[in-house]
Amino acid sequence: MSLVKLNRWIPILNIVAAVTLVVSLGMNFFYAPTERTMGNVQRIFYFHVGSAWVGAVAFFVALVGGALYLRNKQRIWDTIALSSVEIGLVFLTIATAAGSVWGKPAWNTWWDWSPRLTLITVAWLTYAAYFMLRGAIEEEDKRARFAAVYVIVAFVTIIMTYISIRIFRDIHPVVFGGTLETAEGASEGLQDFAPGLESMKMGITLTVNTVSFTILYIAWMFNRIRLQYLMDSVDSLKMRVATRLQGGKA
Amino acid sequence: MRHKQGGRSAWQTRRMNKLAQSTPSTSLRDNPFLTAVWAIVWKDLQIEKHTRQTVSVMVMFSLVTVVMFNFALETELDAARNVATGLLWATILLAGTLGLNRSLAIERENQNIDAILIAPIDRRAIYLAKVISVTIFTLLLELVLVFVFIIFFDKPFWRPIVLLVLFLGTVGYVAAGVLITSMTMQTRSKEVLLPILLLPLVLPLILPAATAVGESMVVAPEASIIRSMVSLVAAYDLAILASGLFTYHLVVES
């Protein structure tokens, strides 16, 4: 996608993202019913799940970007992978912070070294290390290649994390996908999804939140890719100035 | 004509089979892939036999680590016993980074790796060979560590299931390690970068492995937990070995 096209789409996306975010925030507070056992604290849940979902999507996009870069060595795929990891890390941080705020009233502690929380911290570290790897390599081609390999291997560990948090006995509630019987401890602290209108309202709020976070992710991706374009053009301009100053022809 | 050619090739294979049977070398030895793997493993073992640098450094380092951790545990034996499993894995991971760095730094000395890359062998053979040789070094380290831990912490580390999990965990760790070390060796920060990249990557492997080891040493182990943990470890091994085999050539080409 060219810079001109990006410049046209980005303002629209930004506005849509802002509006849907305000709508979902309003729904969290005024539309969703108050949960029976946990009360208003449960409203954090919508943001928590929304951002965790986007985190997973972002790392998957990074994996696809890395794989496609290795396939056809086009710089844009490396940029997509890099942007996606950056944004995914932000969303993962939001999810962890929101979860921690919820955990204080629910579990009476900000943090618990349960397998799920441990592994999500490890995932955060894994993707944070991605930037250390990029920072340590000078040659552009090699940096992109190694980063792509790393992002693929990192996603393998994310899949393992996804599987193992469904096998380990854990304090954290499981919303998507079932668990083994050994992990039944999960039901403690789970919000009440009884059938009926109330729980339907909760479901709708969750869906709207997830969609609006996804739109926010897309908007940020476009902004970040545009930023990379601008950085690259600044770099090439700098090179031209440097050659001109050295007396060569630009 | 076609029939005749087919007949000839069948005759040739029969003859080759006969040759293979008559000589002590098996048909496995004729496989160029396995020959290359074996040659590199043999080279690494020979170097280790003469220099004795990798395993001895790893062993010394892990002994220091164990003693150091005992400071943190305030030398209370009960506390130390409870964390012995985690301590064992932490020690193996830390000592493992030394072994990986050492074993792949040897390749970088005197442009050894270039010579191997010039040779007409599959890149996957190089990867597999490095995984095998570093796994052997790490298993040697674990042999010492298991002995030391039995004495220091008085826990049944000799149980077959513990040894099996140790083996499986080591394979996965080294498989990820060889891939990552081959990358970090070519970066500016070299050795420094390895633990930052590798340790978070292998923690999803170590968590079930440590759980399995811990569970198998309690008074009444729960078989279902051990089984699911061991299968998690095995699944990680397969996944990481596959991604290593597929991507290793991208990491070594210059």
Block means of pLDDT (10 residues each) for chain A, length 250 residues? 82 93 90 78 86 92 95 92 96 92 85 84 93 92 93 89 78 60 42 62 88 94 93 92 79
Closest to A136 (Cβ–Cβ): which among B187, B202, B225?
Answer: B187
What pLDDT band is residue B4 in, cutting at 50, 70 and 90? very low
* B10 and B85 share one domain: no
* B160 and B214 share one domain: yes
* B177 and B224 share one domain: yes
Q: Which helix (H) or strand (E) holds B182?
A: helix B160-184
Q: Which amino acid is at A93?
A: T
For residue A35, the SS3 value is strand
- What total number of domains does chain B contain? 2
Q: Do A138 and B189 touch (CB under 8 A)?
A: no
Domain ranges of chain A: 3-245
Chain B's closest residue to A129, CA to CA, is: B197
Q: Do B224 and A142 touch (CB under 8 A)?
A: no
Q: Domain range spanning residue B9?
A: 1-30
Task: Kindly state whether A134 is in contact with chain B, defined as any CB-CB distance less than 8 angstroms.
Answer: no
Closest to B189 (Cβ–Cβ): which among A119, A126, A136?
Answer: A136
* B2 and B80 share one domain: no
- pTM of this structure: 0.84
* B40 and B10 share one domain: no
* B168 and B216 share one domain: yes
Quote the distance between the C-alpha of residue B207 and its chain's center. Answer: 17
For tokens 């999960």, the residue is A186
ipTM: 0.82
Q: How far apart are CA B88 and CA B72, in angstroms?
A: 15
* B153 and B86 share one domain: yes
* Closest of B206, B198, B207 to residue B178, by C-alpha: B198
Task: Kindly state whether A119 is in contact with chain B, defined as any CB-CB distance less than 8 angstroms.
Answer: yes
* B103 and B122 share one domain: yes
* B203 and B82 share one domain: yes
Chain A's closest residue to B180, CA to CA, is: A150
* B164 and B91 share one domain: yes
Joined tokens for residue A55: 């985190």
What pLDDT band is residue B158 in, cutting at 50, 70 and 90? confident
Q: How far apart are CA A9 and CA A3, in angstroms?
A: 10
Joined tokens for residue B242: 């596959």
Burial track A171-193 (b if 16+ CB lie within 10 A, e otherwise): bbeeeeeebeeebeebeebebee
Closest to B197 (Cβ–Cβ): which among A119, A133, A152?
Answer: A133
* B102 and B125 share one domain: yes
Closest to A129 (Cβ–Cβ): which among B188, B197, B207?
Answer: B197
Q: State the virtual CA torsion across A133, A139, A145, A148 in degrees, nearest 10.
A: 40
More confident residue, B24 or B222: B222
* Closest of A30, A13, A19 to residue A205, by C-alpha: A30
pLDDT at B16 over 70: no
| Arithmetic mean of pLDDT, B37-62 | 90
* B17 and B129 share one domain: no
Residues of chain B with C-beta less than 8 angstroms from the C-beta of A129: 196-197, 200
The widest CA-to-CA distance across chain B, in whole angstroms, is: 84
Q: In CATH, which of 1.20.120, 1.10.3210, 1.25.40, 1.10.10 is domain A3-245?
A: 1.20.120
Residues of chain B with C-beta less than 8 angstroms from the C-beta of A183: none
Angle between helices A75-107 and A140-164 (to 10 degrees): 30
